[in-house]
Amino acid sequence: MFARAIKSIDHLNRTLGHAVAWLALAMVLLQFSVVVLRYVFSVGYVPMQEAVWHLHGLLFLLGAGYTLLSDGHVRVDVIYRDASPAYKARTDLAGCLFFVLPVCILTLFVSWDYVLRAIYDFESGIWVLERSPEFGGLPLVWAYKAVIWVFAATLALQAISMAGKALSYLLGRAATYPPDLAKGGERT
């Protein structure tokens, strides 16, 4: 059961990460188009420039869990690099339980109102659906803010998966730690 949950989490974040990676290219091409339009034809579209900013945020917020999956978050590896698998598993287990999960829960907790206020005003019962303050800007600021929730949630899920993998190694149910990333088609 638990092993299957780990697999589904990894699958979710890997799929999300692979999809979101294309946003990096989209960002480059869109920003380049903005530059050509602005400097050659002297036209500027506010929504295009704002779309680039939104892509930038989506890139790192939605990619954070995937980056944790493929061990892309930088470590101070003076000790860690040459340590035993058991040491690595213990460090990762403790880090996930005491650092990543609490921080994700804290982030969800403190951002709850912040994001909701951009969507719906409970006192007056009005849908706020916050939009860009710029004239002609994108009407999606509320959705963009809500991505903070997705960020905390996907990261928390990935931390659970990572903790699970470390635990199953420590309990002797897995042969190696960290699990072979190459099998998942990943590399850092």
Partner 1 sequence: MTTLPILLCVLMFASVCGVLVLGFPVAFTLAGIAALFAFVGAFLGVFDLGLLLAFPQRIFAVMSSEVLVAVPLFVFLGVMLERSKVAEDLLGTMSQVFGARPGGLAVSVTLVGTLLAASTGIVGATVVTMGLLALPTMMRAGYGHAFSSGSICAAGTLGQIIPPSIVLVILGDQISIAYQNAQYSKGIFAPDTVSVNDLFAGALIPGLVLVMAYLAYQAAYATLNPARAPAVKNGPDRSVSLRGLASALFAPLILIIAVLGSILAGIASPTEAASVGAVGALMLAGHRLAGARAPAIVVAALCLIMLLVLTALFDLRVQREALPVAELFAFGGAVLLAGGLALGIWSALRQTYRARDESGERVLVSVMRSTLKISAMIFVILIGATLFSLVFRGLGGDKVIEDFLQSLPGGTLAAVLLVMAVMFLMGFFLDFLEIVFIVVPIVAPILLQMEVAPGQLMHPVWLGVMMGINIQTSFLTPPFGFALFYLRGVAPDAIGTPDIYKGVIPFIGLQICVLVALWFAPELATWLPTTLYGR
**Taking CB under 8 A as the rule, does residue 11 contact partner 1?**
no
Cis peptide before 178 (omega within 30 of 0): yes
Coil vs helix vs strand at 121: strand
Write the single-letter amino acid at 104.
Answer: C
**Taking CB under 8 A as the rule, does residue 34 contact partner 1?**
yes
For the CB of residue 71, give the shortest distance to partner 1 in the complex, in Å: 8
Cα gap 13→24, rounded to integer Å: 17
For the CB of residue 1, give the shortest distance to partner 1 in the complex, in Å: 27
Give 135's DSSP letter.
Answer: T
10 Å Cβ neighbour count for 69? 24
Cβ atoms of residues 132 and 139 within 8 Å: yes
Please select the residue that binds partner 1; options are 6, 51, 64, 166, rule is CB under 8 A. 64
Please select the residue that binds partner 1; options are 7, 11, 75, 131, rule is CB under 8 A. 75
Coil vs helix vs strand at 81: coil
Q: Could you tell me which of 48, 61, 54 has the C-alpha nearest to residue 16?
A: 61
How many residues at the interface with partner 1, by CB under 8 A? 69
Q: Which stretch binds partner 1 (CB under 8 A): 1-9, 40-48, 119-127, 165-173?
A: 40-48
Q: Which residues bind partner 1 (CB under 8 A)?
A: 17-18, 20-25, 27-29, 31-32, 34-36, 38-43, 52-53, 56-57, 59-61, 63-64, 66-68, 70, 72-81, 83, 88, 91-92, 94-95, 98-100, 102-103, 106-107, 110-111, 113-115, 144-145, 147-148, 187-188
